[in-house]
């Protein structure tokens, strides 16, 4: 647990998507295990898949099949995995417990909130649409919205342009080292979401976030 600090006043909140705002791991796990079973392999335990969920198809296919993009079978497996995920993108996916209360509180306080994710737009957009979040978010920045993705600050600056807030006025919340690095690179205040997809070899204390939270409702202490 990172010792909380006193955050400076902020006027906008930006979230990472997978593992921070929305719990997408169950559907990513379903897609991976379905693909494994189609290939005659044993399904993996959910607890083994969850920490890898933030790493997308690259991390999940490596977890399940032990191959990288340079393997001859990778393109086909990736395409099939993505199709399975697309077809089941909100099968079990939902906001994390307590996050609806956080979003409602932000909206009532007229504090805009948005999303900056490394998920590609062709997956981000239908996911948010099906969860009825598209029109609530002040901005949605996917991995292909700008030429660079996190930890590069370009997506963060783009989000600021859309919501018309300066980076130093924004709080960014994420569950991966790249999220905190991106926020810091953009001169935003940062919070590490420890309830997210944290792998055993991750050490959030080394990310140098301004603070950390164990549950989405912990965000409310700063609002």
Distance CA 183, CA 73 (A): 36
Strands (E), the chain: 12-15, 22-23, 94-95, 113-116, 140-141, 170-174, 189-193, 211-213
How many other C-beta atoms are found inside a 10 Å radius of the C-beta of residue 70? 6
- Helices marked H in 12-55: 25-38, 46-49
42 included as an active-site residue: no
Does 218 qualify as catalytic in the annotation?
no
Which of these is catalytic: 18, 23, 27, 179? 18
Whether the Cβ atoms of residue 189 and residue 171 lie closer than 8 Å to each other: yes
Q: Of 3, 215, 6, whose CA–CA distance to 102 is shortest?
A: 215
Helix, coil or strand: residue 144 = coil
CA distances from 98 to 102, 112, 215 (A): 7, 18, 8
Active site residues: 16, 18
């Amino acid at each position: 647990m990172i010792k909380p600090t006193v955050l400076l006043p902020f006027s906008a909140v930006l979230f990472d998507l997978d593992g921070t705002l929305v719990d997408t791991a169950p559907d990513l796990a379903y897609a991976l295990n379905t693909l494994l079973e189609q290939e005659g392999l044993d399904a993996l335990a959910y607890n083994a898949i969850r920490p890898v969920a933030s790493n997308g198809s690259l991390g999940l296919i490596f977890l399940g099949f032990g191959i990288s993009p340079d393997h001859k079978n990778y393109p086909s497996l990736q395409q099939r995995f993505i199709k399975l995920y697309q077809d089941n993108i909100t099968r079990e996916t939902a906001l994390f417990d307590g996050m609806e209360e956080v979003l409602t509180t932000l909206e009532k306080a007229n504090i805009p909130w948005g999303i900056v994710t490394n998920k590609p737009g062709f997956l981000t957009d239908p996911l948010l649409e099906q969860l009825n979040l598209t029109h609530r978010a002040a901005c949605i920045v996917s991995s292909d919205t700008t030429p660079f993705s996190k930890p590069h600050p370009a997506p963060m600056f783009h989000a600021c342009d859309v919501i018309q807030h300066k980076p130093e006025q924004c709080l960014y919340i994420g569950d991966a080292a790249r999220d905190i690095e991106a926020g810091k690179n953009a001169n935003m205040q940062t919070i590490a979401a420890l309830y997210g997809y944290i792998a055993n070899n991750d050490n959030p204390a080394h990310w140098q976030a301004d603070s950390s939270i164990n549950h989405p409702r912990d965000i409310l202490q700063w609002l």
